[in-house]
């Protein structure tokens, strides 16, 4: 039986109804998926957060680091990116310590053609006295051209006049005639011009060290001084310092520098120079140099000096740049015939100097510093390179 043909308009209507049914079915399926996804999310959220029971007591709260939330993953189509080729042989530049700016760059250098000498005096000034005797004397000569220094200790019992009858000791000159005359007399004995003088009494020495928190000293030999004087100088107060690294406050550092009865004046002079170098190494830093005006204001009654204030930072910067291996140390003692013991008619015990030999000895110490080979990488030594960026 031949098939029955539908009119053209009825066929178009049927196709439209068929498309409508497909669209309706797709929309229903999409709604079902969305509702199901929302329900699953709510169910997981509720199951992950159970209700907390009411606390029975106050708990200890421990703070723990909170992990950052992870953002949802986003799928995106990345546009093509051209990555430049990396050359494996090229390394990032490195900055050496020498290239890091130092605060000392703010301070002008001491002129290289201007060596100078500084006479350091430790004053034994008793209560009620307007002045005192110089218990310690160290002549320091610094050569800026070669970054070298010489330290020469001068014994307090060195006689400078009437040694056989009424001896005049060099440690009495400051008390009787003042610093300018002492500067001249020291220069005459040593054969050197003394440019500046710095004076610390016992109180100032203790205060200076305590201000910076003390000083560490490597004591090479145990010290036991049964005859160390007490504070009022009315008797003795035995002193014991064990060998090894010791941290001294101002009072113990002073005792270490003054003690002499167990090993003599020459060993005492060596300890005084050791303390000077330890103070330089531990207290002299870029920060203390830059803050010198502030320290001077707070320590102005601890010492006296004729060094012009504007020269102090430059002088300290130069002292900081000198490596310990470039410091020549010496003392006017009994060796080399520099002096010999004399008992005067009045019973006084003094050292009579051989002035020509002393002057030749001082000149030789200075030549040793001047003849040292220049340091590699510049005038300053490795200690300066390590310490110029450090703070106390």
Average pLDDT for 299-306 = 86
pLDDT classification of 63: cutoffs 50, 70, 90: very low
pLDDT classification of 294: cutoffs 50, 70, 90: confident
Give the integer Cα–Cα distance in Å for 133 and 122. Answer: 8
pLDDT averaged over every residue in the chain? 78
More confident residue, 128 or 332: 332
269: helix, strand or coil: helix
Query: In angstroms, what CA-CA distances link 355 with 56, 169, 225, 266, 363?
Result: 94, 15, 32, 18, 12
* Residue-level pLDDT at 196: 97
Residues 77-116 pLDDT 10s: 444 444 444 454 555 555 555 455 677 788 899 999 999 9
In this model, does residue 331 exceed pLDDT 90?
yes
* Residue-level pLDDT at 240: 96
pTM, 2 dp: 0.69
In this model, does residue 14 exceed pLDDT 60?
no
More confident residue, 204 or 167: 167
In this model, does residue 159 exceed pLDDT 60?
yes
In this model, does residue 307 exceed pLDDT 90?
yes
pLDDT classification of 38: cutoffs 50, 70, 90: very low
pLDDT classification of 22: cutoffs 50, 70, 90: very low
* Residue-level pLDDT at 176: 95
- Identify the sign of the CA torsion 357, 361, 362, 364: positive
Average pLDDT for 327-345 = 94
More confident residue, 183 or 98: 183
More confident residue, 22 or 287: 287
* Residue-level pLDDT at 89: 52
In this model, does residue 119 exceed pLDDT 60?
yes
More confident residue, 215 or 75: 215
* Residue-level pLDDT at 261: 87
* Residue-level pLDDT at 292: 73
Residues 204-241 pLDDT 10s: 899 989 988 999 999 999 999 999 998 777 889 999 99
Give the integer Cα–Cα distance in Å for 363 and 367. Answer: 6
Tokens of 146: 């070669």
For 240-253, b/e burial (b = at least 16 CB within 10 A) is ebeeeebebebebb
Average pLDDT for 313-323 = 91
Give the integer Cα–Cα distance in Å for 72 and 335. Answer: 87
* Residue-level pLDDT at 9: 52
Residues 348-389 pLDDT 10s: 999 999 999 999 999 999 999 989 987 665 444 444 444 444
Phi/psi-derived region of residue 125, left when phi > 0, alpha when psi is between -120 and 50, beta in every other case? beta
* Residue-level pLDDT at 16: 55
Cα 338 to its chain centre, rounded Å, is 38
* Residue-level pLDDT at 41: 42
The bridge status of strand 159-161 relative to strand 215-219 is unpaired
Average pLDDT for 272-281 = 92
As a CATH number, domain 103-201+282-387 is 3.30.420.590
For 369-380, b/e burial (b = at least 16 CB within 10 A) is beebeebeeebb
């Amino acid at each position: 039986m031949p098939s029955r043909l539908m009119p053209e308009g009825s066929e178009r209507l049927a196709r439209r109804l068929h498309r409508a049914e497909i669209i309706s079915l797709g929309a229903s399926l999409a709604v079902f998926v969305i509702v199901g996804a929302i329900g699953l999310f709510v169910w997981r959220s509720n199951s992950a957060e159970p209700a907390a029971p009411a606390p029975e007591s106050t708990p200890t709260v421990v703070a723990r680091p909170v992990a950052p939330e992870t953002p949802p993953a986003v799928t995106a189509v990345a546009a093509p990116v051209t990555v430049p080729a990396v050359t494996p042989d090229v390394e990032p530049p490195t900055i050496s310590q020498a290239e890091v700016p130092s605060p000392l760059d703010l301070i002008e250098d001491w002129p290289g053609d201007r060596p100078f000498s500084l006479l350091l005096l430790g004053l034994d000034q008793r209560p009620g006295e307007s002045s005192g005797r110089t218990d310690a004397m160290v002549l320091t000569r610094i050569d800026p051209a070669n970054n070298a220094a010489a330290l020469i200790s001068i014994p307090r019992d060195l006689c400078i006049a009437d040694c056989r009858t009424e001896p005049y000791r060099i440690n009495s000159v400051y008390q009787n005639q003042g610093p300018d005359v002492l500067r001249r007399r020291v220069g005459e004995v040593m054969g050197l011009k003394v440019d500046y003088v710095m004076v610390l009494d016992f109180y100032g020495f203790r205060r200076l060290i305590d201000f910076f928190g003390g000083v560490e000293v490597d004591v090479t030999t145990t010290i036991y001084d049964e005859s160390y004087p007490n504070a009022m100088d009315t008797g003795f107060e035995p002193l014991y310092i064990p060998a090894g690294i010791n941290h001294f406050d101002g009072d113990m550092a002073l005792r270490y520098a003054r003690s002499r009865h167990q090993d003599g004046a020459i060993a005492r002079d060596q300890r005084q120079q050791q303390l000077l170098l330890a103070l330089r190494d531990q207290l002299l830093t870029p920060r203390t140099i830059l803050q010198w005006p502030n320290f001077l204001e707070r320590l102005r009654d601890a010492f006296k000096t004729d060094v012009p204030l504007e020269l102090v930072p430059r002088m300290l910067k130069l002292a900081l740049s000198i490596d310990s291996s470039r410091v020549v140390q010496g003392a006017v003692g009994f060796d080399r015939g520099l002096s010999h013991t004399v008992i005067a008619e009045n019973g006084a015990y003094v050292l009579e100097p051989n002035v020509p030999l002393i002057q030749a000895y001082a000149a030789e110490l200075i030549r040793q510093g001047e003849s040292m080979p220049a340091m590699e990488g510049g005038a300053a030594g490795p200690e300066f390179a390590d310490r110029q960026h450090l703070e106390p």
